[in-house]
A and B are shown apart, each in its own frame.
Chain A
């Protein structure tokens, strides 16, 4: 059974640019959550999508957005990148709620 797949694995972007990250959940999972992980703040919740609807959102600025498609694949977009956006972005999928969420390998974003 394939796990959660995130692409790309690594990205280098310049301040002011925008970026789109992709996440393919485990087959049959309808919930996809996104997290930002930094050494100082640890894992912080960005948002959760279920059946193409955003159900929950963390305390991040509006530059961070996402969407989910009918096949449960999800994308996350960050506009007007800042140096502080450099982080490991993790996607997790589950059947319904956040419980027992299975994580992907993450996308390492570096903003220069």
Chain B
């Protein structure tokens, strides 16, 4: 069965304290890996797409990396406004030539000032 596991479930950081979030996956037919940010009561906001091992993407204080079995979301010198739940999703080939996203349960990040 396709599985996506995110760790830790929750992370508290002080402003400026860098850290990494992990997303490990056991799937067949990976087509891509996605990172989203979700604020309370809102829909997920797309951050990055990674397609092959070794690929890296950056946006402001965030950098996402991908290996054959996991992805990391590195947060450098975070600010309180980075507080959110970060979701990882793998894109798989589904029936009928379509695709689907399988999500992890997320990491809730809190950055204290």
A residues with CB within 8 A of B: 4, 6, 31, 33, 35, 41-45, 48, 50, 55-56, 58, 90, 92, 97-106, 108
Q: Tell me if B25 counts as interface (CB < 8 A to partner A).
A: no
Q: How far is the CA of A24 from the CA of B79 in the complex (A)?
A: 34
| Chain A residue nearest to B4 in the complex (CB) | A42
| Chain A residue nearest to B98 in the complex (CB) | A55
Q: How far is the CA of A42 from the CA of B103 in the complex (A)?
A: 8
Check B91–A98 contact: CB distance below 8 A: yes
Q: With A97-B31, A105-B42 given, can you name 20 additional A-B contacts, CB distance below 8 Å?
A: A31-B98, A33-B100, A42-B105, A43-B44, A43-B103, A48-B94, A55-B97, A56-B94, A56-B100, A90-B44, A97-B98, A98-B91, A98-B98, A98-B99, A99-B31, A99-B34, A99-B99, A106-B42, A106-B43, A108-B41
In the bound complex, residues from chain B placing their C-beta under 8 Å from that of A104 are 43
Q: How far is the CA of A56 from the CA of B99 in the complex (A)?
A: 8
Number of interface residues of B (CB under 8 A): 27
In the bound complex, residues from chain B placing their C-beta under 8 Å from that of A44 are 103
Q: How far is the CA of A103 from the CA of B106 in the complex (A)?
A: 16
Q: Tell me if B55 counts as interface (CB < 8 A to partner A).
A: no
| Chain A residue nearest to B103 in the complex (CB) | A43
Check A100–B46 contact: CB distance below 8 A: yes
In the bound complex, residues from chain B placing their C-beta under 8 Å from that of A4 are 43
